[in-house]
Amino acid sequence: MLLELMAKNLALFHRVEVHFRPGFTAITGETGSGKSLLVNSLSLLLGRKADTLWIREGEEEAWVEGVFSLKGLPHVKACLREGGIPVEEELLVRRTISREGRNRAYVNDTPVTLRFLQEIATGLVEIQGQRESLLLLKAQNHLRLLDAFGRLDPLVKEYREAFRTYKRLLQEKEEADRSREERLRRMDYLAFQIEDIEKTAPKPGEDEELRQRREWLRQGERLKEALAKSTELLDGEGPSVAQGLREVLGLLSPLAPLKKDLEREVAHLEEALIMVQEGCTNLEGLLEKVEINPLELAKVEERLDILHSLKTRYGNTLERVLEYLEEAKKEYTALEATQERSEDLEEDIHRAQEKVLEVGRRLGEARREAAQKMEKRVEETLEQLLMEECRFIVHFRDLPEPEAHGLERVEFFIRPNPGEAPKPLNKVASGGELSRISLAIRRVLSDIEEIPILVLDEIDVGIGGITAHKVGELLKELGERYQVICITHLPQVARHAHWQLAVHKERDRDRTVTRIRELSPSEREEELKRMVGEKTPQEVKG
């Protein structure tokens, strides 16, 4: 429920703070006093687009803030959690408007978008003007309302699941048929690519190994000559590094015991000789492996060319070529399975269609039963509102093909008077008739709707007398189920409210301001007296 509404610098509101209570609250005041400003303020909190014209003259910024209780509203709390908003038992919504266009919205002190505010609003408040019911006048909502009235949710879910399966199979078959030739061409192409790669049988890193082998073969003659010369210099028959080290050691070794430093250096020279001899041996081993093989070089070159061509077609590296091979195999397998699946789809589609029709027929029968009960309940309420001749009709139109919501479409029709043709609810000409019809439907739906706050903006226009009295009684009854906030100019309606707020304009230092206050019982009597234009409020009760 709405607990509190505050606004500053919004049109004629200099600063307003209004506390609301459960039940039916009537808002009254002279024409032009600013009653509808309350509705506009609430609309801003529910995501309505702001206009800088609403900012009070001489001010740069306006704001409006509302506090709502979330008790018994798990769907709103779930919406908040999905949006990453801290969830508490009370919901604080704030909008600011500036002349510079910096308009901001906050929920529990967290910045949000207008779209998010609108999502919250759908489960929190409905604002209904004479022709502005966001719910009842839109035909696309009527089927949902009928299903809710008939408590058909399990059957609706069963139908939707069957329909989703049916549509998925149809789409799958359509795609299979549409792409059959393309799929076969793709499978042929993939088979060619797979064979092309597999017959080459590349291995990861193979091209790098071949490049090294090619360089070895290309430099064979030069390498052989260099290795032979190196072994000769290190430890050949003529003067060599090893021979020189032996001669040095022959001179110094006998003298090494004479001095420790010399002994250490002799040891180093002995190690150097060993390393030279080992190096010479290793180079001789490499020399034996050096090949001068033009035939093998040609084979290596040919293999590298083949691998290069493969990389050009399928990837920059052999690793990527092998990855592509696996991807191609998976795609081919999937296409092959699709080809097989398409042949089995006809039977699956037939079974799914039979399921849709079977569940749809049961759902349609249940809807028609619920419609009869709803028609009776609404007409009983219309009779209480002095519309005895009015008929409420839930109009069914069978569809040629199943749709997501069922095998039929539903729209609420009204026949206001005998002899007239039924017409859609949103085509009702009289504002007074529409107000009462909307309230009658609202009463019937009050047990099943989740929207806890109903705001009515002068929906009693066009009625009066005993009819207005009956409307007031009905609003009081609705106030037991909803929090009802009604702007009214009729004392017959206001007198039935649990609470009454009075709106009036006054002068404040040469400026006009709108003020709102809750009336005490005695003040209510005076306000009702003003509204009826008679001397005593007792005459209003007659």
In a domain, residue 126? The reply is: yes
Looking at residue 58, what DSSP letter applies?
T
Indicate if 229 and 130 belong to the same structural domain. no
In a domain, residue 368? The reply is: no
Q: Calculate mean pLDDT across residues 117-133.
A: 74
Q: What is the CATH number of the domain that holds 99?
A: 3.40.50.300
Q: What is the mean pLDDT of the chain?
A: 86
Indicate if 208 and 100 belong to the same structural domain. no
Indicate if 129 and 193 belong to the same structural domain. no
Question: What pLDDT is stored for residue 541 in this prediction?
Answer: 52
Question: What pLDDT is stored for residue 351 in this prediction?
Answer: 93
pLDDT beyond 90 at 99: no
Indicate if 302 and 235 belong to the same structural domain. yes
In a domain, residue 375? The reply is: no
Question: What pLDDT is stored for residue 372 in this prediction?
Answer: 97
Alpha helices in 122-219 (DSSP H): 139-149, 153-178, 180-200, 206-218
pLDDT beyond 60 at 184: yes
Indicate if 192 and 124 belong to the same structural domain. no
Q: Calculate mean pLDDT across residues 176-190.
A: 83
Greatest mean pLDDT among 69-78, 168-177, 402-411: 402-411
Q: Bridge-partner residues for 506, per DSSP?
A: 513
Looking at residue 238, what DSSP letter applies?
S
In a domain, residue 234? The reply is: yes
pLDDT-based confidence at 130, cuts 50/70/90? Answer: very low
Render pLDDT for 29-57 as a digit per residue (tens, 0 to 9): 887 777 778 888 888 888 888 878 878 88
Render pLDDT for 354-376 as a digit per residue (tens, 0 to 9): 999 999 999 999 999 999 999 99
Render pLDDT for 47-83 as a digit per residue (tens, 0 to 9): 888 878 878 887 888 999 999 998 888 888 888 998 8
CA distance 111 to 104: 7
Indicate if 129 and 190 belong to the same structural domain. no
Indicate if 275 and 205 belong to the same structural domain. yes
Which of 293, 314, 335 represents a domain boundary (last residue)? 314
Render pLDDT for 263-279 as a digit per residue (tens, 0 to 9): 888 888 889 889 988 88
Amino acid at 267: A
Instruction: Report in angstroms the alpha-carbon separations of 124 from 12, 62, 72, 533.
Output: 27, 24, 11, 37
Which of 314, 343, 366 represents a domain boundary (last residue)? 314
In a domain, residue 303? The reply is: yes
In a domain, residue 406? The reply is: no
pTM flag (> 0.75): no
Indicate if 79 and 207 belong to the same structural domain. no
CA distance 259 to 268: 15
In a domain, residue 326? The reply is: no
Sole residue written with tokens 């022959």 = 250
| Exposed / middle / buried, residue 77 (Cβ in 10 Å: 0-12, 13-18, 19+) | middle
Indicate if 129 and 227 belong to the same structural domain. no
In a domain, residue 484? The reply is: yes
Q: Calculate mean pLDDT across residues 376-387.
A: 91
How long is the chain?
542
**Angle at Cα 260 formed by Cα 258 and Cα 266, nearest 5°?**
90
Looking at residue 30, what DSSP letter applies?
-
Which of 314, 339, 368 represents a domain boundary (last residue)? 314
Indicate if 101 and 21 belong to the same structural domain. yes
Indicate if 190 and 310 belong to the same structural domain. yes
Indicate if 91 and 198 belong to the same structural domain. no
Question: What pLDDT is stored for residue 429 in this prediction?
Answer: 55
Q: Total structural domains in the chain?
A: 2
Q: Which of 443, 524, 531, 502 is nearest to 136 (CA)?
A: 443
> Residue 254: which domain range?
186-314
Question: What pLDDT is stored for residue 430 in this prediction?
Answer: 65
pLDDT beyond 90 at 238: no
Instruction: Report in angstroms the alpha-carbon separations of 266 from 125, 130, 245, 262, 272.
Output: 102, 115, 10, 6, 10
Token pair belonging to 260:
């420790």
